[in-house]
């Protein structure tokens, strides 16, 4: 037992019963709503045995979907890292008119339905959209290509890193940066030597969540993908396709890869928290 959790008075029997009941309630709820669905994925994927499972994963469709998913995340996440840092820096170290509005705009993609997130890019870049005809005349196509997938994914994941960094940077203040400046550090020097080390673990945490969401997005990408197998189908779309092909094991096999990715993300996150409690503590999304 951890010393901080022991109340001053020794727990009475009735209180221990209450503790146990509350713990059981929490575990029961999470078991019902989170753990069972996760278990279902793996059970269904392995229903016909390991060889079938591996076979389903090794199909060219899954492999190209994996490549595309990784590619989309590899483009969207770094762009969001730069955005998150820039947004957090400007939001926490400066005062300017319209700051509250900017904060609201950063959060906006959270409340936009994924279907709408896809639709807006069709309205912009579709053949009948604002820029579609001009782009087409110049031989450029954005909609129904990997570019559109990246855009839709960026939209969905835009708030993740900024949300992670803003409360932390707010709490840390700007004293150290100012000291670095007074001691003659250049702007980038200050950023890489002072700011980045201070926020790196929170940043990494944000990146992990952003990455997991980017790889798993379904609604928005399904609107802008065009579903060309091998070219514009990401893993979540591949799951739906397999499901629609009566390839149950295949669908759940690809799904289990995504689930494992999620679990690895969560594992890495827990590890980070364990190693760097102080730096990460108390700054989950939305705590500002």
Give the number of residues written for the chain.
288
How far apart are CB 60 and other proteins at their closest, in Å?
A: 12
**267 touching other proteins, by CB under 8 A:** yes
Looking at the Cβ atoms of 7 and 51, the one nearer to other proteins is: 7
CA distances from residue 189 to 147, 165, 179, 180, 186 in whole angstroms, order as listed: 34, 20, 13, 9, 5
Hey, CA dihedral for 195, 199, 201, 203, is it positive or negative?
Answer: negative
Answer for which of 49, 78, 197, 286 binds other proteins (CB under 8 A) is 286
H or E stretch covering 87 = helix 60-93
Report 67-126 residues binding other proteins (CB under 8 A). 79, 82-83, 85-87, 89-90, 93-96, 102, 105-116, 119-126
- Burial grade of 271 (CB within 10 A; 0-12, 13-18, 19 or more): exposed
Stretch that binds other proteins, among 15-23, 52-60, 196-204 (CB under 8 A): 15-23
133-162 positions binding other proteins, by CB under 8 A: 136, 141, 143-144, 151, 154-155, 158
Angle at 80 between CA 261 and CA 236, to 5 degrees: 35
Query: Phi and psi of 226, rounded to 5°?
Result: 80, -10
Question: Could you tell me the smallest distance in angstroms from the CB atom of residue 203 to other proteins?
Answer: 15
Q: Give how many residues touch other proteins by CB under 8 A.
A: 126
Question: Which residue in 159, 120, 162 sits closest to 142, CA to CA?
Answer: 120
Q: How far is the CB of 100 from other proteins (least distance, A)?
A: 10
> What is the footprint of other proteins within residues 224-263 (CB under 8 A)?
226-231, 235-237, 239-241, 243-246, 248, 251-252, 255, 258-259, 261-263
From CA 51, how far away is CA 46, in angstroms rounded? Answer: 9
Contacts with other proteins, 196-225, as mask; x by CB under 8 A:
-------------x--xx-xxxxx--x---
Site string for other proteins, 24-63 (x = CB under 8 A): -xxx-xx-xxxxxxx-xx--x-------------------
- Residues 6 or more apart whose CB falls under 8 angstroms from that of 69 comprise 215, 234, 235
Smallest distance from other proteins to CB 80, Å: 9
């Amino acid at each position: 037992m951890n010393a901080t959790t022991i109340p001053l008075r020794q727990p009475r029997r009735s209180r221990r019963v209450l503790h146990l009941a509350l713990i059981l309630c929490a575990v029961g709820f999470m078991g019902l709503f989170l753990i069972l669905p996760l278990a279902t994925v793996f059970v269904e994927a392995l229903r016909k045995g390991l060889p079938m499972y591996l076979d389903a994963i090794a199909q060219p469709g899954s492999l190209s979907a994996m490549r595309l998913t990784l590619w989309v995340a590899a483009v969207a996440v770094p762009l969001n890292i730069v955005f998150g840092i820039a947004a957090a820096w400007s939001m926490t170290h400066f005062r300017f008119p319209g700051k509250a509005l900017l904060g609201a705009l950063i959060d906006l993609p959270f409340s936009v339905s994924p279907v709408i997130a896809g639709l807006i890019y069709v309205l912009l870049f579709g053949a009948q959209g604002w820029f579609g005809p001009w782009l087409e005349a110049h031989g450029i196509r954005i909609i129904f290509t990997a570019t559109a997938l990246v855009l839709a994914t960026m939209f969905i994941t835009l708030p993740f890193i900024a949300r992670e960094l803003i409360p932390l940077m707010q709490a840390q203040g700007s004293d150290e940066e100012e000291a670095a400046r007074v001691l003659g550090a250049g702007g980038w020097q200050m950023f890489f030597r002072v700011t980045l080390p201070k926020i790196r673990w929170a940043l990494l945490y944000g990146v992990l969540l952003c990455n997991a969401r980017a790889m798993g997005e379904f609604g928005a990408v399904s609107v802008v993908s065009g579903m060309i197998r091998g070219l514009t189908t990401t893993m979540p779309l591949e799951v739906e396709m397999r499901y629609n092909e009566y390839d149950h094991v295949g669908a759940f096999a690809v799904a289990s890869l995504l689930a494992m990715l999620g679990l690895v993300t969560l594992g890495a996150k827990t590890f980070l928290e364990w190693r760097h409690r102080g730096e990460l503590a108390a700054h989950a999304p939305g705590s500002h």
